[in-house]
Amino acid sequence: MLGAFDPARSLLLTDLYELSMLDAYRREGMAALASFEFFVRKLPPCRNFFVAAGLAQVVEFLENARFTEGELAWLASTGRFPPETIEHLRAFRFTGEVDAMPEGTVFFADEPVLRVTAPLPEAQLVESRLINLLHFQILIASKAARMVLAAPGKILLDFGLRRAHGAEAGLLAARASWLAGFTGTATVPADPLFGIPIYGTMAHSFVQAFASEREAFAAFARSHPKALILLIDTYDTEAAARLVVEMAPELAARGTPVRGVRLDSGDLAAHARAVRAILDGAGLREVKIFASGGLDEHLLARHVAEGVPIDGYGVGTSLTTSTDWPALDCAYKLVAYAGEPRRKRSEGKATWPGAKQVWRSYENGRMAGDRLGLAEERQEGEPLLVPVMRGGRRIGPLPTLAEARERCARELAGLPDALRRLDPAPAYPVEPTAALRALAEACDRRQRERAEERP
Amino acid sequence: MLGAFDPARSLLLTDLYELSMLDAYRREGMAALASFEFFVRKLPPCRNFFVAAGLAQVVEFLENARFTEGELAWLASTGRFPPETIEHLRAFRFTGEVDAMPEGTVFFADEPVLRVTAPLPEAQLVESRLINLLHFQILIASKAARMVLAAPGKILLDFGLRRAHGAEAGLLAARASWLAGFTGTATVPADPLFGIPIYGTMAHSFVQAFASEREAFAAFARSHPKALILLIDTYDTEAAARLVVEMAPELAARGTPVRGVRLDSGDLAAHARAVRAILDGAGLREVKIFASGGLDEHLLARHVAEGVPIDGYGVGTSLTTSTDWPALDCAYKLVAYAGEPRRKRSEGKATWPGAKQVWRSYENGRMAGDRLGLAEERQEGEPLLVPVMRGGRRIGPLPTLAEARERCARELAGLPDALRRLDPAPAYPVEPTAALRALAEACDRRQRERAEERP
């Protein structure tokens, strides 16, 4: 009905109420400028900070936001909206402004990561997908950063495509984890699309398909002369390690030296020690040990603390689904309309009014505290939100993904020590300014007065 | 570099090792028939059963699995694979067989949900995406089924696009939850793509954009004469309920009667009781109460047990990210190659060898136990895996999504009572047959013998 439909590029991938509201705004002639801000309400107990990610996909989405003729024809056929609204949707383009924290920036609860300022129907319609894009990459980058901090100097690879929630999640998890400091991914399109190094070895099925491990290893060596990494846990890990030792001289003589072995089951630390001893005993000290299977940042930290001889890790499910906390309490909220600040007061979900900015202070090169204030204020410190789009177009090239990765590395290095640890840290100070507090009170007062007026 | 790249349709969306293994299989001339089975290793403590889902997407993927010229050109440019392998990939088509449980079937740990039988390189290459597709929809359908069982007779809507992990997850969560018995979704493309009923009201930003709730409600009524549902928690829930009472007669007189109100914050049960009393006190007994915000199956069950006067629920994050258990321990494993059964013995991850079937027995219309045996066995009971694809094409039309939904409803009705509850139930009996046990032992024996042979 919609032709070749790619949900990742479709403006129709939205909640129905966005279209209903746009319809009402059009009828009411409400097209004044609105500002919406995206933020996360709370830090989960198992996170000490967030990492900004996903801005590049948001900008691409906004620059290309339009309905296809197939989508418009379907919308018209539903009878939900009058022809004037269908025409309005046909002409839909995002013409607004975006200010945002660059990807790789560390941030905290209640801090706006991104602000959209555009005619109300435009800023409203893009809500669902904009949250969908930012939420996921922030979720994964914030999780990946914990693993990067837990295992300094280790090779960290994203192996999580298969259990990621769908195609886009698999691909963008590779992006977000590399941004946060991972070494690479197994997900192939991450290389041509994002320039991320890709890695891969073999599966158990490869070993099983041959009559013996020996034959499987020999065959793999014939086709992978450069980076021969052998999976050794299909039947008996230590026996396979001894087989590697036995085969190594001949493989090296043929120009295919064994570079590494991979463990994927059982007690990884115990197997790694046993395998290291077997390899070292045969003089194969340069053969690296990789491990995968059920890893998370806590196990990485324990391995590092205990000196487990594993050189690199393939992390799957816990990374790409952020298993311990698979969703953040984030929102995209109206903060100003037609020049007037707005505020929601719903219980437990009250928001700060007005277009805002975050200023960060440093002491001895470490982050020392943020101020949350109104965008028009002047405050000391480094403003974190920068102009990104004007008139519906990016104002210049975005930082490359490699630059975002470098920024993230600098930010992680600048975190206070307590926040770099996996354990819950005392809250990082984020202080609302006096002007912001005063505005929130004024908004509440005005709303109460208006509620008491009778028409 | 790849042109307009849609990861959901690309054969390149795979783990690098799948391509490396295919390369090695080609060099070694290993193209005999292989059987792989997809199954889930363990039931999580917070699930009593799984629901099969995602088969339709798998069949579509397999029927259209091919590399684009852009992808092939990129692969060639990497220098990872010889020209012969690139040509092999250019000619790649899936020509194999698929047997699977129909969507909507209830299943348990270790039971094969789907079996692929195809030349080894074909069956191997599709692994990553096939797991990615099946895992996610099984995850969501199994979660949604718990909500459906917890809240019989309630309207259940998927509101979870924004926090779903990416575009495809948002869309397929709508599909999987409707399959499991949800009433509908807010995600628009679920209607034209899958025929799922879509629903929507208004956001807080809509209310905030107007000078008062009164003006916002009046404007929404002007554009939504048929299904007027008003969001009443932007500022003060009970005050807004009284406003609805006050406005209702005039709205009804204009032909836009209020059909419902929605709560989205605070103590939903307490607000619902207060709002119900306010509405009933004014004779608005037919106005329904909807609730959303932070819901899961346990809260739904509590509301039902306590008789909370809520008619319908919008469930978001907990549904579309399966928050309490966001990933299943699933696998796609080689069980036979070239006519010989295969088995992996990795610790904690051992698999049953051979192409298998599941037979289900019933007592008094309820499921009474499954047998897991070899596909060629004859066993009593209903065989759950049925032929789906032969020669790379579906053998006939798949059941429609509506039919899968009906099947799921029947299956949920046939569950033993203990499994229908949210609390952990005693394990449902799944017995391996004597023939399967014997084959597993024979596989181990043979593998040990081969490992002891010297070349």
CATH code of the domain covering residue B39 = 3.20.140.10
Quote the percentage of chain B above a pLDDT of 70: 99
Together in a domain, A351 and A303: no
> Which pLDDT tens digit goes with each residue over B78-121?
999 999 999 999 999 999 999 999 999 999 999 999 999 999 99
Q: Which of B124, B163, B236 sits opposite A205 (nearest CB)?
A: B124
Q: Is the Cβ pair A186, B17 closer than 8 Å? A: yes
Q: Residue A1: its pLDDT value, please? A: 63
Name the residue in chain B with its Cα closest to that of A85: B223
Do β-strands A114-119 and A97-100 pair in parallel, antiparallel, or remain unpaired?
antiparallel
Q: Is the pLDDT of residue B415 over 70?
A: yes
Q: Is the Cβ pair B166, A162 closer than 8 Å? A: no
Q: Is the Cβ pair A163, B5 closer than 8 Å? A: no
Name the residue in chain A with its Cα closest to that of B61: A167
Is residue B107 within 8 Å of residue B49, measured between CB atoms?
A: yes
Of B298, B320, B342, at which residue does a domain stop? Answer: B320
Q: Is the Cβ pair B168, A168 closer than 8 Å? A: yes
Together in a domain, A162 and A284: yes
Q: Which of A6, A199, A212 sits opposite B6 (nearest CB)?
A: A6
Q: Is the Cβ pair A346, B163 closer than 8 Å? A: no
Of A262, A296, A320, at which residue does a domain stop? Answer: A320
Q: Is the Cβ pair B346, A12 closer than 8 Å? A: no
Tell me the chain B residues in contact with residue A450 when contact means C-beta distances shorter than 8 Å: 211-212
Angle between helices A167-179 and B127-150 (to 10 degrees): 110
Minimal CA separation from A326 to chain B, in Å: 6
Tell me the chain A residues in contact with residue B205 when contact means C-beta distances shorter than 8 Å: 21, 34, 36, 124, 127, 333-334, 342
End-to-end CA distance of chain B: 46
Lookup: tokens for B97: 């067989």
Is residue B259 within 8 Å of residue B288, measured between CB atoms?
A: yes
For residue A308, give its domain range: 144-320
Tell me the chain A residues in contact with residue B25 when contact means C-beta distances shorter than 8 Å: 209
Q: Is the pLDDT of residue B171 over 80?
A: yes
Q: Which of A7, A8, A200 sits opposite B16 (nearest CB)?
A: A200
Together in a domain, B361 and B228: no
Query: What is the C-alpha to C-alpha distance for residues A194 and A400, in angstroms, rounded to an integer?
Result: 9
Together in a domain, A343 and A444: yes
Q: Comparing A310 with B201, which gets the higher pLDDT?
A: A310
Together in a domain, B334 and B315: no
Q: Which of A24, A159, A345 sits opposite B223 (nearest CB)?
A: A24
Best of A18, A128, A208 to disrupt the B interface (most B CBs within 10 Å) is: A208
Q: Is the pLDDT of residue B195 over 60?
A: yes
Q: Is the Cβ pair A208, B344 closer than 8 Å? A: yes
Q: Residue B446: its pLDDT value, please? A: 86
Residue A280 lies in a domain: yes
Q: Is the Cβ pair A202, B14 closer than 8 Å? A: no
Q: At a CB cut-off of 8 Å and minimum separation 6, what does B90 contact?
A: B67, B72
Residue B436 lies in a domain: yes
Q: Which of A164, A188, A211 sits opposite B12 (nearest CB)?
A: A188
Together in a domain, B50 and B91: yes
Task: Compute the count of residue pairs across chains A and B with CB atoms less than 8 Å apart.
Answer: 358
Q: Is the Cβ pair B266, A120 closer than 8 Å? A: no
Residue B2 lies in a domain: no
Neighbour tally for A97: CB within 10 Å: 19
Query: What is the C-alpha to C-alpha distance for residues A180 and A267, in angstroms, rounded to an integer?
Result: 28
Residue A1 lies in a domain: no
Is residue B249 within 8 Å of residue B282, measured between CB atoms?
A: no
Query: What is the C-alpha to C-alpha distance for residues A178 and A162, in angstroms, rounded to an integer?
Result: 17
Minimal CA separation from A360 to chain B, in Å: 28
Mean pLDDT on B189-200 = 97
Together in a domain, A346 and A378: yes
Lookup: tokens for A395: 């104002």
Together in a domain, B18 and B165: no
Q: Is the Cβ pair B203, A8 closer than 8 Å? A: no
Best of A6, A10, A12, A17 to disrupt the B interface (most B CBs within 10 Å) is: A17
Best of A162, A187, A238, A449 to disrupt the B interface (most B CBs within 10 Å) is: A162
Q: Which of B139, B201, B343 sits opposite A17 (nearest CB)?
A: B201
Minimal CA separation from A246 to chain B, in Å: 11
Together in a domain, B354 and B267: no
Q: Is the Cβ pair B233, A347 closer than 8 Å? A: yes
Q: Is the Cβ pair B346, A208 closer than 8 Å? A: no
Minimal CA separation from B377 to chain A, in Å: 24
Minimal CA separation from B288 to chain A, in Å: 18
Q: What letter does residue B353 receive in the DSSP assignment?
A: -
Together in a domain, A310 and A337: no
Q: Residue A454: its pLDDT value, please? A: 56
Q: Residue B437: its pLDDT value, please? A: 95
Name the residue in chain B with its Cα closest to that of A238: B346
Residue B1 pLDDT level (bands cut at 50, 70, 90)? low
Is residue A54 within 8 Å of residue A176, measured between CB atoms?
A: yes
Neighbour tally for A70: CB within 10 Å: 16
Query: What is the C-alpha to C-alpha distance for residues B81 and B128, in angstroms, rounded to an integer?
Result: 20
Q: Residue B308: its pLDDT value, please? A: 98
Query: What is the C-alpha to C-alpha distance for residues A315 and A298, in angstroms, rounded to an integer?
Result: 12
Q: Is the Cβ pair A337, B6 closer than 8 Å? A: no
Minimal CA separation from B166 to chain A, in Å: 5
Tell me the chain B residues in contact with residue A202 when contact means C-beta distances shorter than 8 Å: 17, 20-21, 24
Collapsing DSSP to helix, strand or coil, A39 comes out as: strand
Lookup: tokens for A298: 């806590």
Q: Residue B121: its pLDDT value, please? A: 97
Q: Residue A338: its pLDDT value, please? A: 95
Residue A2 lies in a domain: no
Q: How many domains does chain B have?
A: 2
Of B267, B287, B320, at which residue does a domain stop? Answer: B320
Residue B1 lies in a domain: no
Together in a domain, B298 and B341: no
Query: What is the C-alpha to C-alpha distance for residues A192 and A184, in angstroms, rounded to an integer?
Result: 13
Spans of chain A below 50 pLDDT: none
Query: What is the C-alpha to C-alpha distance for residues A321 and B330, in angstroms, rounded to an integer?
Result: 14
Together in a domain, A316 and A229: yes
Name the residue in chain A with its Cα closest to that of B347: A266
Q: Residue A227: its pLDDT value, please? A: 83
Phi, psi of B330 (to 5 degrees): -105, 165
Minimal CA separation from B317 to chain A, in Å: 7
Q: Residue B454: its pLDDT value, please? A: 56
CATH code of the domain covering residue A297 = 3.20.20.70
